[in-house]
Amino acid sequence: MTLNEFAQHFLNALQWGSFYALIALGYSMVYGILMLFNFAHGDIFMAGAYIGLFVALALLSISTTGIIALPNWLVFILTLVLAMIFTSFLGMLVERVAYRPLRDAPRASAAITGLMVGIFLETSNLLFLGASRKTFPPLIEKTVYEIGGVTFTNIKIMIVGLSLILMLALHLFVRKTKWGMAMRAMCYDYVVVPLMGVPMNAIASLTFAIGSALAAVAGILFSIAYPVLEPYMGLLIGWKAFVAAILGGRGSIPGAVLGGFLLGFLEIFVAAFFTSTLRDLIAYSIILLILTFKPHGFFGEPYSARLRL
């Protein structure tokens, strides 16, 4: 493996790690606060990508018809922001409809409604948009740089950079703001904190909004890297990000990031060293082993600490 090859794999791993981490954060936050699996999250990622697609197309058509001429980078930023907003509304809606009525029900029941919401989103998409795949417009022109024999594209750097910035922003939000503190408190005690005047429903909505916004970013970045969209694109990546979230330790933000990148590296480098068909087999066997010997992930706490059924 030459240096350049290694660097390519490394960058790919970082890129995939970013996708996984952004989605895993959504899982982890919802988990931390409401203690439920949001199995619809992978499909919110998909929805985010589609919303991004439509926003981008709309903006581009405004731009080309000449009402206001927007440069591509501005279209990209606007797409990102608008898609984040719309997707967070979708996330809040999902919470309101499928999770809030089940808050006192067994967690597994909520997991099932989540699964069903996911299937609902996929099928409705298929029904309304048809089975044909959609292509994401190239908003960012691809440029290849070379430093010391290592080539890389601006897109990869942008994806990784933007993801890291958002993760940092989330970290600061959770650590430094009043709302962030309320969220952390809720993580700590689900039952008592609402009694202290923290608005449970608002926090739940906020959590879903933030998680969905991050998923939307992941969806758009993913569509820029791999510009083909289809209704089931969120299925596998969603399940995998879920694995990443738990691998890091449920409900832990640094854990989700670490888990996401670990999964990205595992998958890319397994595919690099062995054949790519063995990727899942080896990567998930390693994860199974990790969880066998480190049963609570990297940042998780033992199960007994917070048990709610």
Partner 1 sequence: MKSVFSKVRNTALESTLGRRLWGSVAAIPLMSWLIGALGAFILENLVGYSLALLVGLPGIPAIFGLSHLGALIGALLKGVSGYAEVISSLMLFLGTLVYDLVIYIIPTYILARLSVPLVEKFLSLIPARFYTLLHLAVFYGALHLWSYQDDYRLLVVRFIGIAIMLTVSLNLVNGYMGEFSCAHGGFMAVGAYVSSVIMVWGFVQDDVFGPPVLPPALAPIAFPIVLIIGGLASSLTALAVAIPSFRTRGDYLAIITLAFTFIVKSAIENMEVIGGPRGFMNQPKLAGLPWVFIWTVLCLVVIYNYVNSTYGKATCAVRDNETAAEVMTVDTRRIKVIAFLTSAFWAGVAGGLFAHVVGYINPATFGIMKSAEVLAMLYLGGLNSITGSIVGAVLFQLLSEILRPLKLVKWVVIPILLITVMIFRPMGLMGFREIRPQFLRPKKEVKYAPASD
- Residues near partner 1 (CB under 8 A) are 31, 37, 97-98, 101-102, 104-106, 108-113, 115-117, 119-120, 122-124, 126-127, 235, 239, 242-243, 246-247, 250, 277-281, 284-285, 287-288, 291-292, 295-297, 300, 303, 309
Measured from the CB atom, the residue of 101 and 161 that comes closer to partner 1 is: 101
Measured from the CB atom, the residue of 76 and 99 that comes closer to partner 1 is: 99
How far is 131 from 128, CA to CA, in rounded Å? 9
Measured from the CB atom, the residue of 56 and 240 that comes closer to partner 1 is: 240
Burial class of 93 by CB neighbour count within 10 A (0 to 12, 13 to 18, 19+)? middle
The least distance separating partner 1 from the CB of residue 205, rounded to whole angstroms, comes to: 18
Measured from the CB atom, the residue of 133 and 175 that comes closer to partner 1 is: 133
The least distance separating partner 1 from the CB of residue 113, rounded to whole angstroms, comes to: 5
Residues in the chain: 309
The least distance separating partner 1 from the CB of residue 293, rounded to whole angstroms, comes to: 9
The least distance separating partner 1 from the CB of residue 68, rounded to whole angstroms, comes to: 38
How far is 197 from 8, CA to CA, in rounded Å? 51
Cα-Cα-Cα-Cα dihedral sign, residues 40, 45, 51, 54: negative
How far is 101 from 53, CA to CA, in rounded Å? 32
CA nearest neighbour of 125 among 51, 215, 26, 15: 51
The least distance separating partner 1 from the CB of residue 174, rounded to whole angstroms, comes to: 21
Name residue 230's amino acid: E
Q: Which residue has the tokens 């890389």?
A: 152
The least distance separating partner 1 from the CB of residue 297, rounded to whole angstroms, comes to: 7
Measured from the CB atom, the residue of 138 and 295 that comes closer to partner 1 is: 295
CA 142 to chain centre: 24
CA nearest neighbour of 309 among 35, 87, 126: 35
CA nearest neighbour of 15 among 216, 221, 168: 221
Measured from the CB atom, the residue of 150 and 291 that comes closer to partner 1 is: 291
